[in-house]
Structure 1
Amino acid sequence: MKQRLITGVIGGAGFIGLIILGGIPFTLLMIALATIAMWELLRMKRIQPFSIRGATGMLFMWLLLIPENLVSLNWIHLQRLELFLLLIVVLLALTVITKNSFTFDEAGFVILASVYVGYGFHYFMYARFLDNGLWLIFFILVLVWATDSGAYFAGKRFGKRKLWPEISPKKTIEGSLGGTALAIIIGAIFTLFIPIFPSWGIAILFMLVVSLTGQLGDLVESAFKRHYAVKDSGHVLPGHGGILDRFDSLIFVMPIIYLLGFLY
């Protein structure tokens, strides 16, 4: 517990500090976190990160992650998504060239993992650099953390009915509802002082989306770990596990709120 607390305080302070600082330091932090998260996923699948398969996965993820203003692809006359699709074709061709030593299953994993991690951290950066990005990021973090805390304490106090025992045996329906309730309460207090959205209706809808999709993101990572029979995604954060263990909710939330039009 002491180690977990120390890691949380030091890591949290550094993370918040770089979010406030923004710019290149924040961007480099996001690239580092995404790279470690992709590394963790590859290791779950028993793909060595320094192998051709692992390096290909990293390349795919970086293509989706790194902002256009940092690395331009104009010199090859292809849009980033077009290059990504071209590389998917090359990756599938490798299953034939390698006579299935690189399997279709592994190709699919590499593609899906790169989209999951790359777009998750990409839209976190995207949100930070909006006009109201700093407060928007803090709002999202507050909602995710309130959901986690509310779910934990409500689950311990009132939890009886299992939410999804095949995926995460300890989570309960009561805990999930408690997490969403606390997110709305804390989010409403935040909105009273720092209104991010033009109306309360949009603000409450945003709170619900972040809280519910954040919980779904947590279950998605739990499903990964259960499928690959690992307790934590990694050990880079003493007492907390890996980067995916800490950012699973956040990187699931970010693409969804972008697609729903909340990032403007």
Structure 2
Amino acid sequence: MKQRIITGVIAAALFLPIVFFGGLPFVLLTYFLATVGLYELLKMKKLGIFTVHGFLSVLLLWVILLPERYEQALITLNYTKIEIGIVIILLLLTYTVITKNRFTFEAAGFTILSVIYVGIGFYYFIETRDAGLVYIFYSLFMIWATDSGAYFIGKATGKRKLWPEISPNKTVEGSLGGVVCALIVAILFGLFADMNATVLTLMAITVILSIFGQLGDLVQSAFKRHFNVKDSGNILPGHGGILDRFDSLLFVLPLLNLFHLW
């Protein structure tokens, strides 16, 4: 517990000033976090990142992460992110032939889906920050409230298992308690922050985001259970890896963008 607290304090001291400042430092931080997250996923599959396919996967990730305000650089070259991404995917598939199936089609598929999963989530981390600091803090507090509510209410009243094959400690009561706690956050932000939505609208959105945030957590649990690992990584002592900390955000932020709050 002591190690977990120390790591949390240090991470917050490093992370929060960059979040407040935004701009290029935040973009670079997001690139770093996403690259580590991809490394963690590939490592679970025993796919090295310091390889040809690892280089191509990181390159594809960085293309996906390129913020909208920087895409003009590609447009001047008469290319789009999709076109460059297609070329990289074709190169990954070609690499299966070059290696005579030592790097298999299955591995290529896993790599591409991993890049999309991590890349889209962290891309919208950048876009959400560009929309306004309030949306980042709303997302973080909503997820923290969901997680805390699910843990404490589940521990106090939980009887029915939510998804024992994936995460045996989670309960239906805890999950519902997490949604209720997230609604409290929605009400507070709706009343006291400029969220460009009525309180009722924000509450409805929050219910959906809270549910999908919990699904993001379960997806990460499913990965770890399938690959028989305790944590996605060890970059954050006491907390695990980057994906252990950002699993819910990777689901919440793309959906938040779809609600057009900004």
Counterpart in the other structure of 1:140: 139
Secondary structure in 2 aligned to 1:73? helix
Aligned residues: 261
| Deviation digits for residues 129-155 of structure 1 (CA, Å, limit 9, x no counterpart) | 12xx11111111110110010011011
Distance 1:160 1:194, change over 3 A: same
**Contact 1:155–1:174, Cα closer than 8 Å, also in 2:** yes
Alignment of 1:145-184 (within 5 A): 145-184=144-183
Matched, 1:201 2:200: yes
**Distance in 2 between residues matched to 1:151 and 1:102, nearest whole Å:** 41
**Distance in 2 between residues matched to 1:49 and 1:116, nearest whole Å:** 16
**Distance in 2 between residues matched to 1:214 and 1:13, nearest whole Å:** 25
**Contact 1:184–1:204, Cα closer than 8 Å, also in 2:** yes
**Distance in 2 between residues matched to 1:167 and 1:75, nearest whole Å:** 47
**Contact 1:150–1:178, Cα closer than 8 Å, also in 2:** yes
Counterpart in the other structure of 1:224: 223
2:102 maps to a residue whose letter is: S
Alignment of 1:65-214 (within 5 A): 65-70=65-70, 72-74=73-75, 76-130=77-131, 133-214=132-213
- The alpha carbon displacement at 1:76 in A equals 4.2
**Distance in 2 between residues matched to 1:252 and 1:46, nearest whole Å:** 24
Counterpart in the other structure of 1:240: 239
What runs of 5+ residues in structure 1 fail to find an aligned partner? none
| Deviation digits for residues 177-230 of structure 1 (CA, Å, limit 9, x no counterpart) | 010000101221222111403322321122112211100100011111111110
1:182 maps to a residue whose letter is: C
Q: Which moved more, 1:195-204 or 1:117-126?
A: 195-204
**Contact 1:209–1:257, Cα closer than 8 Å, also in 2:** no
Counterpart in the other structure of 1:31: 31
**Contact 1:30–1:125, Cα closer than 8 Å, also in 2:** yes
What runs of 5+ residues in structure 2 fail to find an aligned partner? none
1:234 maps to a residue whose letter is: G
**Contact 2:64–2:81, Cα closer than 8 Å, also in 1:** yes
1:237 maps to a residue whose letter is: L
**Distance in 2 between residues matched to 1:262 and 1:143, nearest whole Å:** 17
**Distance in 1 between residues matched to 2:106 and 2:76, nearest whole Å:** 33
Q: Which moved more, 1:234-243 or 1:57-66?
A: 57-66
**Distance in 2 between residues matched to 1:195 and 1:182, nearest whole Å:** 20
**Distance in 1 between residues matched to 2:175 and 2:210, nearest whole Å:** 9
**Distance in 1 between residues matched to 2:259 and 2:209, nearest whole Å:** 13
Secondary structure in 1 aligned to 2:237? coil
> CA RMSD, aligned part only?
1.5
Counterpart in the other structure of 2:3: 3
1:87 maps to a residue whose letter is: I
Identical residues among aligned pairs (%)? 52
**Distance in 1 between residues matched to 2:18 and 2:169, nearest whole Å:** 33
- The alpha carbon displacement at 1:159 in A equals 1.0
Counterpart in the other structure of 2:44: 44
Secondary structure in 2 aligned to 1:163? strand
Secondary structure in 2 aligned to 1:129? helix
- The alpha carbon displacement at 1:99 in A equals 1.8
